[in-house]
Structure formats: structure tokens, C-alpha cells
Amino acid sequence: MTATEFVHFWIGSLIGGLAVGFLWLASRRLDILRKRRQNIDFRRALWTNLERLHAPDTPLPSLRRHKAEMEAIAAILDEWLPRLRADHADTIRQLRQMRIVLDSMTEGVLAIDDRMRLILANPAAAPLLGVEQEGLGRLLPELIRHSSILEYAHDAVERCRPHEVEIPLNLRDAIGRLGVRILEVRITPIRPRGESAAVIASGRAAGAVLVVQDVTELRRLERLRQDFVTNASHELKTPLASIKLYAESLLDWALEDPGHNRAFVERIEEQADRLTNLVSDMLALSKLESGSDVYRHVPTAIGPILRSRVASYRDRAEAKGIDLQLIADDPVSDSKVVAAEEALRQILDNLIDNAVKYTPEGGHVEVAVLPYNVGWLEVTVSDSGLGIPRADLERVFERFYRVDKARSRELGGTGLGLAIVKHMVAGIGGEVGVESQEGHGSRFRFTLPLAGESAPVAAGPEEGQLR
């Protein structure tokens, strides 16, 4: 080889080597760029999928097509894991809060899916509908026997229609007594979310939520209030009608008629007195029933009150030839009871007034006070009067209840006296009751807690001892 040929060979080899080196470098660079591109694509896909964790209805495309590097995954997981952990803790906290709210609700709450399978039940649903947590996943018709609740729930799911119904059921109350309870059941369909238009158009719901409440007591109070308004208006109307009639008669012709005018004005005064009594009894009762602290029950000597109340009825009793007696021996009559003087006065007045009112001429009325259990006194007001039929005994303490309406009105009664007595005795902490035999007389009794050293040691008189 000549020198020239050698130089050519050497330059050629150099150029060839450089070209190979350049190609190698270029291919490496391209490889790095391709991998970076893949990484970016993978990251983007992974981020998108992670973001979609919060949107359960969106698709999660598979990540397998990305031949991503472990580093990229590690970087993203490093960033995401703390966020996932915080989200998880947040979800658990929210679930706990929801559970606490559901568990402490007095209303029973059930949720069913579109196939009527139970997906949620709170503890209050158990006593109301007999549905326990263990029933989760089972079909509602297997858990609830009541056909109309099932029909309404089925309709709510099938037609996406809400229902609100009241259903009487034979259930146990808070103290275990079996009886008819009124349940208010509100059924709200769960509207389908992200469902196809066809499903929404078909009117089917994704499930339903049933909220059940025992409204027995609420309805009873509403009925009582309604009855009170009806009775009160009726009671007020009767004397008002009389007053109007006598006033019209006076204006028309009786004013100048000395044989009638005085008598008519006296009737008007009588009816006005009746109205006054009625209104003041109604006010007293509504105050007592509102639960506002009407009286301050402080230690009060029972003897002087008994003596003064009995004395105030002596004239009326004598006028009817009734023998009115007070039996209050020492030391009982020297005792102090925890009761407001005004409350004691009103209780005694109502009971003595009734005894004198419903006892015919020549009868007996006796007011007595005796020890009763440890720390209690019992006051009785007995008469030899008309008595109360057995069937009415339970009801005489109800507002406006009278055994004989005409007789009570004729004798100036309002029908509220015993209801006031019942509330007042309850306010003092005692019990009230009555025993009676029709045609032979009645015995009303109430208990009072003793004050001071003789104060009650037990909670009160044994249950069932007074009727």
C-alpha cells in the first residue's frame, strides 16, 4: 500500500467510525425522546384515571397499553398516596357522621334499590317495622309483612312516584304494651343518576327511601286540641244564646213588664257568671297544660287550708241540709306538704264543690286527711250523693266530660273542674283517683308529698293503688 492509499484508508475509516458513532448517538436520543413521550402519555392517562376516582360514572380506560417506566408510576403514586389517604380518612369520617345521624334518628329510615333489596336500615326501623341490620341485601317483601307499605314502595320504584301515608299497625309502645299505633310512612323514589334517557323515560327509580315515624301521640294530641276547640265553642255558645234571647225579649216586650223584666235580667246575670267561670276555668286549664310553671310548690301547712275551705262551704251545705264534716286529727293536720297554697285551695274547692253539688238534700260530705305510705298524706272528699256509673269513672277527669250534661249545666258546672284537679295534683307530684258506686256516693282521693323530715323516702305511692 502506498502512502496515499494508506491516508485514504485512514480517512475513510475515520469518516465511517464517525458516521456509526453519530448514528448510535442519534438512535439513543430518539429512544430517550420516545420514552419521554410514552411517559408523558402514561402520566396523562394515569392522572386522568385517578381524577376519575371522584366521578364513579365515568369510564376508567386500561393503563396496560402504556409500557411505562416504574419511575413514572412511583412519582405519581408518591404524589397521590397522601391525597388518597386524606380522601379515605375524609370518606370514613363522613360515613361515621352519617351513621351517627341515622342511628340517633327517632324516625326509622330504610333504603331499597331498584330490585327492592334492602341497602340501608337504621336502628329505629327495627321496633317500627321489624327490619334489622341483618336484613341488608334481602328483598323488602321478605322483611315487611304489611302489604300496603310494600305496594307503595313498589310503586315508588316502578313509577318513580313519592307517597305519604298513615298506616295503623299493631305494635308495642315504648314500655312494651301491645296496641294500635299510627305510623306515618314517607316513601321518596331515588332518581336515577347518569342513567340512559330510556331508563328515565320508562319512569323507573333507582330505588327508594322510606322514612317511618310513630305519630300516635301527635294525632292523639291533635284530636284532643280539636275536641277542646269544638267543646269550648259549644260550651260558650249555650250561655251566649241564652243571654241574647233574654236581651231580645227584654227589648221586644219584657222591659216594661214588671212580671218578667227582673227575672230576665237575673237570668242574663246568671249566664254571664257561667261564661266567666267557663272562661276562667279554660284559662287555668290551658295554663296548666302548657306546662308553664304556674305555681311554686313550697312547704305549706295543710290543716289551716282544709279548715278554711270546708268552712267556706258550710253555708251552702247547710242550705241543702247536708252534713259537712272535716276529719283532720293532730299531728297529721299540723303537717306541712310541698304544695302551693293556691293549688291546694283550688283542688279542695273543686272536689268539695262537686260533693255538695252532686249530693241531694239530707246527705253527708266528709273531708279527711290521713298518712299515706312513708312521706305522703292522702286527702279524701267523700259524699253520699248520686255516685258515678262504672263506665264513666275512667273519664270524669277528661276535659268537658260530664256524666249528665244537663244536670251539670243546671248546677252551674263547667265540666273542667276535675281536669284542673288532675293537672294540679300531677304538678305537685301526687296522684288522684276516684271510687264510686252509683246511687250510693263517691270518694275522691289525692296524695301530697310531706315537707321536711317527713318528706317522701320512696318515689311516691305504689302504682295502681289509686285509680
- Are 387 and 440 a contacting pair, CB within 8 Å? yes
Minimum distance between the CB of residue 381 and ligand ADP, rounded to whole angstroms?
Answer: 8
SS3 annotation, 21-65: HHHHHHHHHHHHHHHHHHHHHHHHHHHHHHHHHHCCCCCCCCCCC
Minimum distance between the CB of residue 357 and ligand ADP, rounded to whole angstroms?
Answer: 6
Spatial neighbors of 458 by CB under 8 A, at least 6 apart, are 373, 374, 375
Residue ranges in contact with ligand ADP by CB under 6 A: 350, 354-355, 358, 383, 385-386, 388, 396, 401-404, 408, 413-419, 442
Minimum distance between the CB of residue 385 and ligand ADP, rounded to whole angstroms?
Answer: 5
Amino acid, single-letter form, for residue 273: D
Q: Nearest CA to 297 among 451, 459, 460?
A: 451
Minimum distance between the CB of residue 204 and ligand ADP, rounded to whole angstroms?
Answer: 59
Which residue lies nearer to ligand ADP by CB, 387 or 430? 387
> Which grid cell sits at 310?
270546708
Query: With b meaning 16 or more CB within 10 Å and e meaning fewer, what string describes 409-446?
Result: beeebbbbbbbbbbbbbebbbbbbbbbbeeeebbbbbb
Q: Where are the beta strands (DSSP E) in 191-256?
A: 207-214
Minimum distance between the CB of residue 236 and ligand ADP, rounded to whole angstroms?
Answer: 15
> Which grid cell sits at 426?
300531677
Burial class (CB in 10 A: 0-12, 13-18, 19+), 295: middle
Which residue lies nearer to ligand ADP by CB, 244 or 440? 440
Write out the DSSP string of 382-394.
EE-SS---HHHHT
Which residue in the block uniquely carries the three cell numbers 305504689?
Answer: 462
Which residue lies nearer to ligand ADP by CB, 342 or 349? 349
Which residue lies nearer to ligand ADP by CB, 169 or 420? 420
Which residue lies nearer to ligand ADP by CB, 208 or 416? 416
Minimum distance between the CB of residue 310 and ligand ADP, rounded to whole angstroms?
Answer: 15
Q: Where are the beta strands (DSSP E) in 106-238?
A: 108-113, 118-121, 163-172, 178-190, 207-214
Minimum distance between the CB of residue 297 and ligand ADP, rounded to whole angstroms?
Answer: 23
Which residue lies nearer to ligand ADP by CB, 214 or 378? 378
Minimum distance between the CB of residue 434 and ligand ADP, rounded to whole angstroms?
Answer: 8
Which residue lies nearer to ligand ADP by CB, 207 or 417? 417
- Are 445 and 432 a contacting pair, CB within 8 Å? yes
Spatial neighbors of 20 by CB under 8 A, at least 6 apart, are none
In the DSSP assignment, the letter for residue 451 is: P
- Are 162 and 189 a contacting pair, CB within 8 Å? yes
Minimum distance between the CB of residue 365 and ligand ADP, rounded to whole angstroms?
Answer: 9
Which residue lies nearer to ligand ADP by CB, 43 or 402? 402
Which residue lies nearer to ligand ADP by CB, 131 or 403? 403
